[in-house]
Structure 1
């Protein structure tokens, strides 16, 4: 039986940061990032946002990426996860020999700093299992049946974008967010083309999601350090945040996510960022979830 908790002491937390980063690096090497799968494939359901089967709450930040990585690698068709103990409390049995998947969270320990006792955060690990690993697992409805038709999903996306009241100019030649003007520039829908993994319309909204995440970071909103030029560390972290936030938004609407620009340069960019700082991914994923949460607060209740 897998241990339910894998606790990293404060002195070994760097190893856990590296373990998380290595997991995503493997996905980069196998070509499954940015989590593109043909919509008609059996694995399309894998890109749903993972949720805890007991609490019903969706996982956040880096845990979304870790569970997506496990789902893609092992071809799990369910977005439901829970610990061994949680499945047991529901009367469910994990199949013999099944391996759990890593998730992480922050805990604190007390440390005296300049004569004052402070709570210092450190990273801890836990193990969860997918519904597909249960002894009595039965496949559910097809992805399309559960998520609804594409036109219906796109109408929800359009309403979501409009409710943010972001200033968007659809006459641009490229997609970008200009912080000084607090404005998003987007090419028209007609400028996008179909690809093997998504339609032109899906590509359009995936790109717009990326820019909306940038828009959320303006000083009038979440006030993220967005960097000033390509190549500086803050700029790289902001791009990573926007890419992850767009992926999270796309998943919530049942849309494929697309990389920005050339695929090879996209992958190379990710690798360079992660190799320089193994904490960057966890921080960026957390900021991406905060950005998505912020955009949802702009929606009517």
Structure 2
């Protein structure tokens, strides 16, 4: 039975609700994983695929299933629908295959494009894809439909995997990641400060490998900052052309966090930074409601970056348009070796498993000095704000410095405070029912500075 335009339009609302529920599930799973990681519980998972079709799940679906497998501790990467399970049961009638009592599936999404025209009176006229080809002014919209899948670990008597996943050693992993980042053309320089990506110079900046707890921590940080580099205007161009806002920076951090978890699951890497759980709680509060489409896109972009890495691992030319062609890889790797040599970093230091651990008593002072250097090296207020948020003891410790350093820090905090308050005031003024601030702009700035000093 055909549906009226009004009934058809309700599918858009349903799609939005399904998408919001989906990304909320991803966010909650990420938070759970971050909390477990801070308790020293590593999580690993392979790329999810369907054993019936033989195809891997991709995009945001791959993100959700991978994170769920990490959270639940599933050692099996096979996922299938109830209907597909019935087909497997028919092939093996003697195995008594069934979903374990009390188990719940995971919702993933199937995209479907719908085509329609809008008539003069505003009526929507839905057409098929074939009909749309011959019509002018046809609009297309992608709707998302939910379906449920179960992991093989949730199913009793499910046939064992025919081919176990290949085992990669730590040295092989490190060598692969070293070659991948170098072949991507993303420059990496080692020195002082915290791990970060410098947008102005298009360079990933890292501390020396010996400053990390292990080679796994080093490569976790390296991949996280590498992902940020993929958002540069010369590659994916994810960052806005105009000045970055706190929201755009936070979205990039969320993407990087997703990619870090996916890469960690693939290669057994730890969380690259402390405080992930607290940042995720903040992002969940900031972006709850109205941002589901952006977060869904962020998940898809994180999955695409991991696909690029997996294609390189398989010896293929990555499909990403920005990734250099194979013939350029040797030269790019040699250029990175030269950069490493200039800063005194050897390939052996980075790929070996015996990365020296920092002295136990120097962690706090090193964190403070690195934060101070990072403050001095950047003019980006959002970066300064992020450094404060990532270093809870930073302000308290800085107050013990000499008076001149304290005054400089106070001036920087004033600038950050003004930027934050101005963005918040601008957002409040643009909201429905907002009351215009009667104070002149210069007085508003002064008020912001006073609030920071109180």
Bucket of the pairwise TM-score, normalised by the shorter protein: 0.7 to 0.9
- Secondary structure at the counterpart of residue 78 of structure 1: coil
Residues 68-95 of structure 1: per-residue CA shift (max 9 Å, x gap)? 3543554422111122233333436332
- Cα distance between partner residues in 2 of 1:140 and 1:132: 11
Verify: 1:108 aligned to 2:113, yes or no.
yes
Q: 1:293 to 1:77 in 2, by over 3 A?
A: closer
Q: Which has the higher contact order (CA 8 A, sep 6+)?
A: 1
TM-score by length of 1: 0.78
Query: Contact conserved, 1:109 with 1:121, CA < 8 A, in 2?
Result: yes
Q: Which residue of 1 aligns with 2:228?
A: 214
Q: Which residue of 2 aligns with 1:223?
A: 237
Q: 1:273 to 1:226 in 2, by over 3 A?
A: farther
Instruction: Please list, as runs of the form range in 1=range in 2, the aligned pairs for 1:72-83 lying within 5 A after superposition.
Output: 72=70, 74-83=72-81
Q: 1:161 to 1:235 in 2, by over 3 A?
A: same
Q: Which residue of 2 aligns with 1:286?
A: 300
Give the CA deviation at 1:113.
3.9
**Match for residue 138 of structure 2 among 95, 112, 117:** 117
Unaligned stretches of 5+ residues in structure 2:
1-9, 121-136, 313-317, 328-454
Q: Which residue of 1 aligns with 2:215?
A: 201
- Secondary structure at the counterpart of residue 191 of structure 2: coil
**Match for residue 131 of structure 1 among 146, 152, 157:** 152
- Cα distance between partner residues in 1 of 2:118 and 2:259: 35
**Match for residue 266 of structure 1 among 279, 283, 302:** 279
Q: Which residue of 1 aligns with 2:99?
A: 95
Query: Contact conserved, 2:43 with 2:268, CA < 8 A, in 1?
Result: no
Query: Contact conserved, 1:82 with 1:129, CA < 8 A, in 2?
Result: yes
Q: 1:94 to 1:270 in 2, by over 3 A?
A: farther
- Secondary structure at the counterpart of residue 275 of structure 1: coil
- Secondary structure at the counterpart of residue 287 of structure 2: helix
Verify: 1:167 aligned to 2:196, yes or no.
no
- Cα distance between partner residues in 2 of 1:265 and 1:201: 25
- Cα distance between partner residues in 2 of 1:279 and 1:85: 29
Give the CA deviation at 1:227.
7.7
Q: Which residue of 2 aligns with 1:86?
A: 84
Give the CA deviation at 1:282.
0.9
- Cα distance between partner residues in 2 of 1:51 and 1:35: 25
Query: Contact conserved, 2:104 with 2:150, CA < 8 A, in 1?
Result: yes
Q: Which residue of 1 aligns with 2:12?
A: 10
TM-score by length of 2: 0.54
Give the CA deviation at 1:228.
7.2
- Secondary structure at the counterpart of residue 154 of structure 1: helix
- Secondary structure at the counterpart of residue 289 of structure 1: helix
Q: Which residue of 2 aligns with 1:60?
A: 58
Query: Contact conserved, 1:37 with 1:256, CA < 8 A, in 2?
Result: no
Q: Which residue of 1 aligns with 2:203?
A: 183
Query: Contact conserved, 1:107 with 1:124, CA < 8 A, in 2?
Result: yes
Structure (1/2) with the larger helix percentage: 2
Q: Which residue of 1 aligns with 2:28?
A: 26
Unaligned stretches of 5+ residues in structure 1:
1-7, 194-199
Q: 1:238 to 1:267 in 2, by over 3 A?
A: closer
Give the CA deviation at 1:273.
4.1
Query: Contact conserved, 1:217 with 1:291, CA < 8 A, in 2?
Result: no
**Match for residue 265 of structure 2 among 239, 251, 276:** 251
Q: 1:26 to 1:213 in 2, by over 3 A?
A: closer
Give the CA deviation at 1:118.
1.6
Q: Which residue of 1 aligns with 2:379?
A: none
**Match for residue 147 of structure 1 among 167, 181, 184:** 167
When structure 1 is superposed on structure 2, of 219-228 and 161-170 the one drifting more is 219-228
Residues 199-258 of structure 1: per-residue CA shift (max 9 Å, x gap)? x21111111111111111222211212587775222111111122123223333x22341
When structure 1 is superposed on structure 2, of 220-229 and 282-291 the one drifting more is 220-229
Give the CA deviation at 1:138.
6.6
Q: Which residue of 1 aligns with 2:254?
A: 240
- Cα distance between partner residues in 2 of 1:264 and 1:74: 18
